[in-house]
Structure 1
Amino acid sequence: MTYRAALHGIEAAMGVPLDLAEYVRAIVRGWWIVLVCAAAGLGGAAFVTSNSTPMYQGMVRFYVVSPAVTGQSALQSLELSRGKMASYASLVKSDAFIDKVVQVSGNGLTAEQTTDSVSASADSETLMLTVTVTQPDFDKARATVTAIAENFGSAVNELESGRTLPGGETVLNVVAGPAVLPGPVSPRVPLNLGLGILLGLAAGIVITVTRRLMDKSLRTPEEVELASGLPLLARIPYSHAASGRASRVLEKEAGSLLAEAARRLRTNVDHLASLPSAEVITITSATSGEGKTTTALMLAKAWAEAGERTLLVEAHLRMPRLAADIGLGKSTGLSDVLAGHLPLDSVIQHTSVDGLHTVVAGTVPVNPTELLRGLALHRVLEEMRKRYTRVIVDAPALQPLSDAALIGAVVDGTLVVVRHGTVSTEVLKAALKNLESVNTQATGVVINALPARLSEGRRRFLRRVVTGLGRPFRPRSGPRPAEWAPIGGSTGQPVKHVARRR
């Protein structure tokens, strides 16, 4: 198998983007809507069916024969019979014949009710005349169709009496019936229930697709870049680990897609033309819950793994969480330093990653905005700049508070994280205006929680798998059994053995 064929096969298995793929994903995401609509359609069909009156159908079929008379060929007789078929079909519902059927059958129906229940169809090619009777009562349907079968031939002969030559009377032979189906022909329970489910499914699909069309949230990297007017620095794929505790981000192995995205973000920040100095940057988002803390941890870890002394600063002074998320012992931090209660050295903590230190938010202050507005923040950040190569400030969301904007005014650059399918263009633009209110601008955007079909590095990751570069997967069953290999030689000394892992 060639490299291209293998790569194409893996992409096909993981889902290559197709023209209607977004609508399919919308339907999958709204599966509960489709399910509810299908159940509603089934319930509606069941209700209508249960309240419908059962209808029974009787049928009798005649074969029309007009014998040839003297001086008339068989073909002429056949054409004559064909010409009469439409008249015979009309005769079945004539007032005179219906009155006779009502009188003979004793079905207890009026002439009008009997007329409504009778229908006739004529086939001039086969000379077959089919009469059907549909009634809500089985016995009345049988009595009516039996009366038609027994009296229609005589009614035809009476109509043609004196108009045909002797021996040329039309003969109507009963070839099927009279009979009534044992079960009702309507309502058709399986058909009605099936149609109800199909209509419900169709309604559910229409609703989910309409919701997607009306959804103005930003979902693709192109939409985020266009709405913000800023360069897109990274596409972070969705990860279950990143959606849980933040400490899991620090544990992700180097071959993962998250680590690949973090390295991509690190490279783009280092070479961003609008950010010549990226020593102190802040990471924020338009609203809360978009993954700014996770992104800050990923970038901080990537810089630390590159050998740079990195400090991660939590600036969520109102709702500190970092200490609990990554399992740090001290709860004092930035707010205590800004208030002048503690020196910076006393609040710096080590993490599980070499070269990565952190300062948590600290004690929740009464006036967090006032702490961030003062000169103390600028002095503390300058002190951090002298001690560390990289300082990343994990700021709160840009809306509805101004804390993130105040931080953005005193750092080298601001990165805005946008979670896939979370915020609209209007919300993002309004958040970016908060930065403009303090005479600063965002430097770039990062789209987070992107499905694998849209995440950057996916093709590169697949290429590594196909070509055998790197080992992104571990055996599920643990390490393989050890193989014993002799170490020593032919010196006659005792041979030692060690376990060598593959």
Structure 2
Amino acid sequence: MTPLTRALVLRWYFAVGGALLGFVVAIALSSTVTPQFRATSKIWISISGDAESSALDLAQGTNAAQQRIHSYLDLVPQPIVLQPVIDELHLDVKASELARSVSATSPTGSVVMQIAVTSPDRQRVAEITDSIVRSFSSVVQDRLDANASGVGVTVTQTSPAARPTTPVAPRTRANAALGGAAGAGLGVLAAFLRWALDTKVRGRDEVQELWDLPVLGDIGFDPEASKQPLVLRDARASARAEAFRSLRTNVQFLASRPEGARTLAITSSRPSEGKTTTAANLAVALAESGLRTVVIDADLRRPNLANVFGIEGSAGLSDILVGRVELADVLQPWGRAGLSVIPSGTVPPNPSELVGSPAFTALIEDVAALFDVVIVDTPPLGSVTDAALVSRAVQNMLLVVASGRVRRAEVSSSIESLATVGASVQGVVVTMARSRGARDAYAVYGADVPPETQRSHRSAVPGSTSEVTP
């Protein structure tokens, strides 16, 4: 399925909504139109002669009648025909006004004419039609085609007008169908324009098709994420918590060096995509699986990891890199599952120089010797070059992509920035996904988990009364 086709399928509601709107508008407009009724009558035009008329004369008369039909068609809506009708039926209209509702037709090569009258007056439209036929017959036979040769025109009404039962206008059903089709077409056009003008990334399928990158995690949108970022502590039975456990499983299958710890950095293209929340919850999930895990806050410009874990962050990574403290002084255990945190420490004036220094690479190697997994939270790639510098010291780079927030060009630029320094993205974590299906299904599955069960699994935090089970 092409991106365009998928975009139209995902926006099916544009077509459905447009069809419904067009249907309703067509019906509404049709209801404002005064119903029009039509009555028709057919007449036969023939040439008659006296006893002395030959067969040749009669045949010529028939041909003449066929030729005269064209003139008769123009004669029907003329005042000479319509004014007697107005006088006879006492109609409150002028001949010119009545003419607009009268039509006369005849098939080619035929001597049969059909006179039709359209009027909002259902009761009198047939009466008007028959009156026009009588007036037309009188004008043709008595005034225009009377001759002394004994050959004249005879007008015979073969089909009298009948009172109509249904209006010919408005054609409500046809209008509704046409309005629905037009609305659906406009809806498809609107969906296409929305897709063409919308430059933001929409979901994991688009990530896989545009950049051919594996999606390791699909984290659902949660408006309370900023208030409760550690869902593996605060909402262990939620769908988002299960999504982070799924991410943990996929991360464990990432290709890594046979020796040493598995080291990975997590970055994004722009701020507020959820990279720090992803790094923190992934670290908790890995630690819960029995892996000795450390998470390092290498975002030395806008550090937030210490706030997420609720720990002291005044001393940390930057202090180690300048030689102010030792690793053991800032390595803070968190909870009881074997997780440790290294906060960012003092905000330095030269973050790029610090994370790009040999001291940072040496620190990652030292930490990797002590832990099974090393996770590094970095600044966004679209803002500064820190994440690209960090990528040279780790084995794997994960790119967080916020669905509906980050633009395609920004993601492409981030991938190119890593490629410039010889690094590549090993996997993508899609955050803020709004696919309700999976979340609702898991919510039903975990609906019977009592709240006290979730609370009993919360990790212990310095200064907190909650505890975590080993």
The TM-score with structure 1 as length reference comes to: 0.63
User: Is the CA contact 1:38–1:198 (under 8 Å) kept in the aligned structure 2?
Assistant: no
Residue 39 of structure 2 aligns to which amino acid in structure 1? M
User: Is the CA contact 1:38–1:204 (under 8 Å) kept in the aligned structure 2?
Assistant: no
* Aligned with residue 82 of structure 2, among 96, 101, 113: 101
Q: Alpha carbons of 1:166 and 1:181: their partners in 2 closer, same or farther (altered >3 Å)?
A: same
Deviation at 1:44, TM superposition (A): 9.3
Alignment of 1:154 with 2:138, yes or no, is yes
Deviation at 1:236, TM superposition (A): 1.8
User: Is the CA contact 2:296–2:343 (under 8 Å) kept in the aligned structure 1?
Assistant: yes
* Aligned with residue 246 of structure 2, among 260, 282, 290: 260
Counterpart-to-counterpart distance in 1, 2:424 and 2:126: 85
**Structure 2 portions without partners, runs of 5+:** 52-57, 451-470
How many equivalent pairs are there? 430
CA deviations 1:216-259 (Å, max 9, x no partner) are: 66668787568658xx4543234346993431145358994542
Counterparts of residues 99-498 of structure 1 (less than 5 Å): 99-105=80-86, 114-122=98-106, 129-134=113-118, 145=129, 147-158=131-142, 161=146, 169-172=154-157, 175-177=160-162, 186=169, 192=175, 195-196=178-179, 198-212=181-195, 224=207, 232-240=213-221, 244=225, 245-249=228-232, 251=236, 256=242, 258-270=244-256, 278-297=261-280, 299-325=282-308, 327-334=309-316, 337-338=319-320, 344-352=327-335, 354-362=337-345, 364=347, 368-369=351-352, 371-373=354-356, 377-378=360-361, 380-419=363-402, 426-435=409-418, 439-442=421-424, 444-449=426-431, 474=445, 476-477=447-448
CA deviations 1:306-330 (Å, max 9, x no partner) are: 43211011223333333444x5243
**Structure 1 portions without partners, runs of 5+:** 1-16, 71-76, 459-464, 466-470, 480-502
Residue 441 of structure 1 aligns to which amino acid in structure 2? A
Q: Alpha carbons of 1:238 and 1:164: their partners in 2 closer, same or farther (altered >3 Å)?
A: farther
Counterpart-to-counterpart distance in 2, 1:297 and 1:145: 86
User: Is the CA contact 2:26–2:179 (under 8 Å) kept in the aligned structure 1?
Assistant: yes
User: Is the CA contact 1:280–1:385 (under 8 Å) kept in the aligned structure 2?
Assistant: yes
Residue 444 of structure 1 aligns to which amino acid in structure 2? Q
User: Is the CA contact 1:61–1:128 (under 8 Å) kept in the aligned structure 2?
Assistant: no
- Alignment partner of 2:157: what SS? strand
Q: Which residue of 2 aligns with 1:26?
A: 10
CA-based RMSD of the aligned residues comes to: 5.5
CA deviations 1:90-131 (Å, max 9, x no partner) are: 625317954231354156767665544321245799998542
Counterpart-to-counterpart distance in 1, 2:249 and 2:77: 94
Q: Which residue of 1 aligns with 2:466?
A: none
Deviation at 1:451, TM superposition (A): 7.6
Residue 416 of structure 1 aligns to which amino acid in structure 2? L
- Alignment partner of 1:151: what SS? helix
Counterpart-to-counterpart distance in 2, 1:228 and 1:277: 30
CA deviations 1:242-298 (Å, max 9, x no partner) are: 99343114535899454234212211234x7xx865543212123334443354345
Deviation at 1:194, TM superposition (A): 6.2
Q: Alpha carbons of 1:419 and 1:19: their partners in 2 closer, same or farther (altered >3 Å)?
A: closer
Q: Which residue of 2 aligns with 1:499?
A: none
Residue 150 of structure 1 aligns to which amino acid in structure 2? R
Residue 72 of structure 2 aligns to which amino acid in structure 1? L
User: Is the CA contact 1:282–1:395 (under 8 Å) kept in the aligned structure 2?
Assistant: yes
CA deviations 1:176-204 (Å, max 9, x no partner) are: 24x68898x65567765664454233212
Residue 375 of structure 2 aligns to which amino acid in structure 1? I
Residue 156 of structure 2 aligns to which amino acid in structure 1? V
- Alignment partner of 1:259: what SS? helix
Alignment of 1:61 with 2:41, yes or no, is yes
CA deviations 1:28-76 (Å, max 9, x no partner) are: 4xx47974897589669968986x7x57455242464979999xxxxxx
Q: Alpha carbons of 1:334 and 1:38: their partners in 2 closer, same or farther (altered >3 Å)?
A: farther
User: Is the CA contact 1:122–1:128 (under 8 Å) kept in the aligned structure 2?
Assistant: yes
User: Is the CA contact 2:77–2:103 (under 8 Å) kept in the aligned structure 1?
Assistant: no
Counterpart-to-counterpart distance in 2, 1:223 and 1:368: 33
More divergent stretch after superposition (408-417 vs 361-370): 361-370
Residue 316 of structure 1 aligns to which amino acid in structure 2? D
User: Is the CA contact 1:290–1:448 (under 8 Å) kept in the aligned structure 2?
Assistant: no
User: Is the CA contact 2:298–2:377 (under 8 Å) kept in the aligned structure 1?
Assistant: yes
The TM-score with structure 2 as length reference comes to: 0.67
- Alignment partner of 1:176: what SS? coil
Q: Alpha carbons of 1:198 and 1:20: their partners in 2 closer, same or farther (altered >3 Å)?
A: same
Alignment of 1:91 with 2:77, yes or no, is no
Deviation at 1:392, TM superposition (A): 0.7
User: Is the CA contact 1:34–1:203 (under 8 Å) kept in the aligned structure 2?
Assistant: no
Counterpart-to-counterpart distance in 1, 2:287 and 2:186: 53
Residue 387 of structure 1 aligns to which amino acid in structure 2? L
More divergent stretch after superposition (147-156 vs 212-221): 212-221
Residue 404 of structure 1 aligns to which amino acid in structure 2? A
Residue 446 of structure 1 aligns to which amino acid in structure 2? V
Counterpart-to-counterpart distance in 1, 2:327 and 2:85: 111
Name the % identity: 23
Counterpart-to-counterpart distance in 2, 1:196 and 1:385: 67
Q: Alpha carbons of 1:352 and 1:162: their partners in 2 closer, same or farther (altered >3 Å)?
A: farther
Q: Alpha carbons of 1:210 and 1:164: their partners in 2 closer, same or farther (altered >3 Å)?
A: farther
Q: Which residue of 1 aligns with 2:55?
A: none
CA deviations 1:69-90 (Å, max 9, x no partner) are: 99xxxxxx9xx99996896586
